[in-house]
Structure 1
């Protein structure tokens, strides 16, 4: 059983590592798009709705698809006033309970809510309402449930690793 849990957690971790590293390259693309936008505005006094939308589309992909990677590497927002001083066992308890009571249910609710939203956007092939905007807004909306699915998977991995930490700790005291 332990080996199966470790295998599941490892597969999830590898998936989110690959996705996270891939998404990280979008930050470079985003910086280049922003530099182009700023140069176009201030040097040539021109702007484009499509460029502005591309900026927030890229940011959306980075945020949504990179959240699981951030959780995997413990780079998410957390109030560390107490947690950083906890023992590994207490940290595992915090992670286990927080994941089970808050993170997993939140991911499920977000995925269910986003699913209808995404299906509707794909059905109507939603694009930008702005003249000159990007035509495929539905692709960005599809990243919402996908991002929460990746986050849910990483939450499961965190839960497994926390559970294993607690069971190993319990065994070491027997």
Structure 2
């Protein structure tokens, strides 16, 4: 189980290492937009939208990595003081009852819209913008799939912990 969890982790690790560069690119593009607008009097809707596209891709594709490194916000009134086994039970419950089903439902309900958007190559948000709304919509199933993959990896680790297979425990969280 641990090896499978580690293999699943690698998907989000690789994705996170890739999309983290979007943040730098986003800052550079926004700086360029401001510089062009206020220094040179030039404005481009497509350039403005490129920041929006990068922002969407960064957060949608980076969510699985954030779960991998345990970076999501956690309201831990009771969790912080709980034992490792209790934390594993809470986490397992969250993955099985909340995370995986909600991502599966979101994937199911958005899939027809995404397929329709891709099939018609849905165009720009604004006149003169990037003609790729289909790309933005395709981030939704990617988000769901990456979070399901990472939730399964985390769930496997909780099962290992609850079973008491200490020698199998390890890897990235």
Query: Which TM-score applies when normalising by structure 1?
Result: 0.90
**Shift of residue 143, structure 1, vs aligned partner:** 1.5
**Shift of residue 83, structure 1, vs aligned partner:** 1.9
* Runs of 4+ in structure 1 over 4 Å off: none
What secondary structure, in the 3-state scheme, does the structure 1 residue paired with 2:164 have? helix
Query: Could you report, residue by residue, the CA deviation over 1:16-60 in whole angstroms, capped at 9, with x for unpaired residues?
Result: 101111010111111111111111222223322111211111011
> For structure 2, which runs of at least 5 residues remain unmatched after alignment?
167-173
1:46 aligns with 2:42: yes
Please, what is the CA RMSD of the aligned residues? 1.5
1:166 aligns with 2:170: no
More helix per residue: 1 or 2?
1
1:62 to 40, 58, 63: 58
What secondary structure, in the 3-state scheme, does the structure 1 residue paired with 2:94 have? helix
Conserved in 2, the CA contact under 8 Å of 1:89 and 1:169?
A: no
**Shift of residue 80, structure 1, vs aligned partner:** 2.7
Query: Could you report, residue by residue, the CA deviation over 1:68-119 in whole angstroms, capped at 9, with x for unpaired residues?
Result: 0000110012113332222211111110011111001111011112211110
What secondary structure, in the 3-state scheme, does the structure 2 residue paired with 1:128 have? coil
Aligned residue pairs, count? 166
2:10 to 8, 14, 33: 14
